Structures are given as C-alpha cells and as structure tokens.
C-alpha cells in the first residue's frame, strides 16, 4: 500500500520564478493538505483540498495556489518566488477532511 | 489561529528510561483531535499518537502514551523504555477546523 508521495524531492529556483509541487495521496484518501516548514520551525498550514475545492486556507498570500484533480492528487503552485519561500513543503492526506493526516516525504525548495 | 506551546526546546533521556514532553494549547472548540508527530533528521513527519478530545481515556500506542487534561488544555507525551530510534523532533499538533496547528517542537536526544 503506497503512502503519500511527493515530487520533486528537491528544487532550486530563483527569485521571481514560479514553481509547481505535486502530491499523490495515500490509497483510499480523498483529502490533501499542504504545509510549509521553514528551518527550525513547525509546519504552517497553507490550505486543504477536498472534492477538488479549497476547503480552508491558512495565512498565506494569493501567490500560493493549488488544485486537486479527480484522482485526488494535488498541486501546489507558488508564483513570484521570494527568498523567504525557501522551505520544506509537506503534503498530507486523509480520508474525509477531518481525519488523521499522513505526511509525504516533502519537497525541499531553495530560492536563490 | 490556535496557539500551541511546547516549552521544552530540547530534552535528553537515557536509553531504557522514560521521558515526558509537554504541550499546552488554546482552543474555543469542544470537540477536536490532538496529535503528536515525530520528525527524524530525514524530515519525514511520522504520526506517533492521536487523542480524541471527547474521550476521557488517555491514548496509548505501545511505548507511547499521553496525559490529556482537557480543562487545562494540556497534552503531554510520555515515552517509556526509550530507544535510540526515538531521537527526533517531536511536534504537538491540535486539530482546528481542517488544519493541524503545530508547536515549535521539542528535540529529543537519546543517549546510550
């Protein structure tokens, strides 16, 4: 039974560029949440997708957007990258939007 | 946003001994879930234990148990018979709405 998968594992971008991160949920899960974890901090909630719609959003600007596909996989897009966007981006999946969340290995984004 | 406080930035325990990690939080909700996650150096976020706030009985998962005090909004994690593989960053994460709200974490060192 495959767990949560994320791609790519690492990414290097320059300021002003755009990036797309991808996540496939655990088998049987229909909900995907995204978190940003800066070095030395706990993860911060970005948003959650359920039934292809954004259900809740954290305190992140509109430069952060997402999408969920009919197969429940999800993308996180970040436009106009800033140095401060450098972080580990974690995807978590769950069955229904309030159940236990299981995390993927993360994508490490470095913005130069 | 919900505030989560982990007052111990670092803790140390000897192998086979017991250690308790503390967590306090604030919430206006009456029914919610609480979680402890561990994050080893690989930065993979791993579920340790889950507690439902409506349950009076404290959750137990093998060597891991919690002391949940709902009125005091306290949720501590006890690790018994500590093993070298328990060394990691531990995050307390109450669930609010659809999001997990993470504390800043406690770094646990396990010495032989």
For residues A56 and B99, the answer to whether their CB atoms sit within 8 Å is: yes
Contacts with B100 from chain A: Cβ below 8 Å: 33, 35, 43, 45, 92, 101
Distance of CA A63 to the CA centre of its chain: 13
Contact A54, A48 (CB under 8 A): yes
A to B CB pairs, distance under 8 Å: 59
With a cut of 70, say whether residue A97 has pLDDT above it.
no
CB-CB contact of A106 with A48 (8 Å): no
Nearest CA in chain B to A48: B98
Asked if pLDDT for residue A90 goes beyond 80, the answer is yes
Share the mean pLDDT of chain A.
Answer: 95
The residue assigned the tokens 């086979």 is B16
d(CA B28, CA B7) in angstroms, rounded, equals 21
Encoded tokens for A44: 């911060």
pLDDT at A68 over 70: yes
Residues of A in Cβ contact (< 8 Å) with B95? 98
Determine the residue among A90, A92, A101, A107 to mutate to test chain B binding: the one whose Cβ has the most chain B Cβ atoms within 10 Å.
Answer: A101
Interface residues from chain B to A (CB-CB < 8 Å)? 1, 4, 33, 35, 37, 42-47, 50, 91, 93, 95, 97-105
Average pLDDT over residues A26-53: 96
Rounded Cα distance between A23 and A34, Å, is: 9
């Amino acid at each position: 039974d495959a767990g949560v998968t994320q791609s790519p594992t690492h990414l290097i971008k320059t300021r002003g560029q755009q990036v797309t991160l991808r996540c496939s949920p655990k088998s049987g899960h229909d909900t995907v949440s995204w978190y940003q974890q800066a070095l030395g901090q706990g993860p911060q909630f970005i948003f959650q997708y359920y039934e292809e719609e954004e259900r809740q959003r954290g305190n992140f600007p509109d430069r952060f957007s997402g999408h969920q596909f009919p197969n429940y996989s999800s993308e996180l897009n970040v436009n106009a990258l800033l140095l401060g966007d450098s972080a580990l981006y974690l995807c978590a999946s769950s069955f229904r939007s309030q159940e236990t969340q299981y995390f993927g290995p993360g994508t490490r984004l470095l913005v130069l | 946003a919900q505030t989560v406080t982990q007052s111990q930035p670092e803790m140390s325990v000897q192998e086979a001994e017991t250690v308790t990690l503390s967590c306090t939080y604030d919430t206006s909700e009456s029914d919610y879930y609480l979680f402890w996650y561990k994050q080893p150096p690989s930065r993979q976020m791993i579920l340790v234990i889950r507690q439902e706030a409506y349950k009076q009985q404290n959750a137990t998962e093998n060597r891991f148990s919690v002391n949940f005090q709902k009125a005091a909004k306290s949720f501590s994690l006890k690790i018994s018979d500590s093993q070298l593989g328990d060394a990691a960053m531990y995050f307390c994460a109450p669930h609010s709405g659809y999001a997990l709200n993470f504390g800043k974490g406690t770094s646990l060192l396990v010495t032989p």
